[in-house]
Amino acid sequence: MARLVIVSNRVPIPKARSMAAGGLAVALHDLLVPGAMWFGWSGRLTSEPAPQPAVVEARGVTFATIDLTAEAHRSFYVGFANGALWPLLHFRLGLMHFRREDYAGYLAVNATFADSLSQVLQSDDTVWAHDYHLLPFGRMLRQHGFNGPLGFFLHVPFVPPSMLEAMPVARELVADLCAYDLIGFQTEEHARDFRDCANRMLGATIDGEWVRLNGRRTRVFANPIGINAPGFAEEAERSANDRLVQRVAGSLAGRALAIGVDRMDYSKGLPNRFEAYGRLLERHPEHRRHIHFLQICPRSREEVDEYRKLRAELDRLTGRINGRFSEFDWTPLRYSTRPAPRATLAGLYRIGRLGVVTPLRDGMNLVAKEFVAAQPDEDPGVLVLSQFAGAAYELTEALIVNPFDPDAIADAMHVGLTMPLAERRERQVALKAKVFRITAEVFCRRFIDALTTPTLMPVAA
Ligand code: ADQ
């Protein structure tokens, strides 16, 4: 069997058995069979990066990484990827800061990735690149003469042509993506939007899932990502003994726990969620003193201005809600910016009566699936889920809300808190079946099968 090479911006080199950290690392864990390679940035900044990747082996997997200069990282990661592409792909044109020099830096780092990987690539490898940091990478790898199967998965949403057109280099980016053999999106809607962009902006021919451009074909399909549901459910059950989970459970003193877990990001809809919680307490005073809201949101991307502003806003909103509703022996909102070990998170979800997942846009949102997997069958909590998370396409038995409407979120929280046990169980059975059906493993296998099965492989047009 051909070697699988995974390419992503960051490579989490495992130190011990703790590789299951972020969303991507967790999802790709199943793919890292002995013999596979994971290539990308080491996370280190140096003034003179070595042209050759540094290679380490762990548990039979090869981790090949390169360093970047501070300037390359600034323009590539802070400037173009997170200052322009991230807001654009999350429908936030007003936050998109496009600068030509950032785009030049983005192209240069992608070229470095392609150059560096081609030094350790074998001609019969299968290459799978991930996410918006690497849109032009496939075209550049092809220029190095690589002709093997080359796939790409976009973890974030994609936008319709009318919005993508605001990006000055949109045509180049769409054409670059067409150098891949297979492109996966989280939902059919995003896959369709991409095909529309290729058709309208480049004149590509669309034939079902296939996009034909300049004599080659690319398959563009929906392949929703999942979690290791059985593993997460077991972890949640075991975590009843976790010291921190026990301390939190004890501190509730019989009150209901509502929980939110998100990277601190403006796409996650945190200010609206906080406002919604304030409305719930205002309009339904019967919940006062009977609920604690725990929001865990580790800080991220603080090099980008908008993320620093968001933090200040959340600090202010937390103060306002707690200032207004707190009593001497009850604090309604607990807000922590610390990352938590996965076992602890799993245990906290399990004791959650409400899981509140209200992003303004999200490719999938794994927290929604983790919350479902962690619930006890006999007395499950209720998931409140944004209609604009990819997860809402599958998890239709959640309480689906428009995250732009704080009153609607407050209403759903009230419905969730007062839902009879029989209905909670019924919804949980349906949700759990879905989360256990499309797991991380199913997601990975489906992508690799589509990329490597000869009948599905692209042929010359
Ligand atoms: P993210 O935007 O990072 O992922 P998400 O899908 O929710 O969002 O994944 C976050 C992961 O980090 C989850 O596994 C969660 O448990 C974990 N996490 C969050 N807070 C944590 C904390 N305090 N401590 C420890 N772990 C924490 C991007 C896209 C998503 C898409 C994923 C995967 O934006 O839409 O679902 O990739 O494709």
156 in the same domain as 125? yes
Same domain, 168 and 285: no
Task: Dump pLDDT digits (tens) for 102-144.
Answer: 999 999 999 999 999 999 999 999 999 999 999 999 999 999 9
Same domain for 155 and 289, yes or no, is: no
* Residue 217 lies inside a defined structural domain of this protein: yes
- What mean pLDDT do residues 233-259 have? 95
Q: Determine the number of helices (DSSP H) and then strands (DSSP E) in the chain.
A: 17, 16
Note whether residue 53 is domain-resident: yes
DSSP for 8-46, written as a single string:
EEE----SSS----SHHHHHHGGG--TT-EEEEEEEEE-
For ligand 1, say whether the CB of 340 is within 6 Å of any of its atoms: yes
Ligand 1: distance of its center to the CA of 364 in Å? 9
State residue 30's pLDDT score: 63
pLDDT at 454: 56
Report the distance separating Cα 133 and Cα 149, nearest Å.
20
Give pLDDT, residue 250: 95
Q: Is the distance from the beta carbon of residue 380 to the nearest atom of ligand 1 less than 6 Å?
A: no
Same domain, 166 and 178: yes
- Quote the domain boundaries for residue 194: 4-226+442-452
DSSP string, 47-88: SS--SSPEEEEETTEEEEEEEE-HHHHIIIIIIIIIIIIHHH
The domain that contains 280 carries what CATH number?
A: 3.40.50.2000
Together in a domain, 68 and 95? yes
Catalytic residues: 155, 362
Beta carbon of 386 within 6 Å of any ligand 1 atom: no
- The domain tally of the chain equals 2
Q: What percent of the chain has pLDDT over 90?
A: 86
Shortest CA distance to 233 belongs to which of 374, 415, 353?
Answer: 374
In the predicted structure, residue 359 carries a pLDDT above the cut 70: yes
pLDDT tens digits along 54-104 = 999 988 899 999 999 999 999 999 999 999 999 999 999 999 999 999 999
Return mean pLDDT, the chain. 93
Ligand 1 pocket, mutate which of 227, 367, 435 (most atoms under 8 A from CB): 367
296 within ligand 1 shell (Cβ under 6 A): yes
Q: In terms of domains, do 147 and 246 share one?
A: no
Please tell me the predicted confidence (pLDDT) of residue 31. Answer: 67
Residue with tokens 């998965």: 153
> Quick one: DSSP state of residue 255?
-
138 domain-assigned = yes
Contact 28, 6 (CB under 8 A): yes
d(CA 48, CA 39): 19
Residues 363 and 282 in one domain: yes
Answer yes or no: do 274 and 406 share one domain: yes
pLDDT tens digits for 266-307? 999 999 999 999 999 999 999 999 999 999 998 888 787 888
- Nearest-CA residue for ligand 1 atom 10 is 23
Q: pLDDT for 1-58, tens place per residue?
A: 789 999 999 987 776 444 444 566 666 766 677 889 999 999 999 999 988 999 999 8
What separation in Å is there between the alpha carbon of 237 and the centre of ligand 1? 21
Within a domain: residue 133? yes
Residues 294 and 209 reside in one and the same domain: no
> Is residue 461, in this structure, part of any structural domain at all?
no
Q: How far apart are CA 397 and CA 50, in angstroms?
A: 51
Query: Which atom of ligand 1 is least distant from the CA of 298?
Result: 23
- Residue 277 and residue 206 share a domain: no
69 and 206 share one domain = yes
Q: Is 392 in the pocket of ligand 1 (CB under 6 A)?
A: no
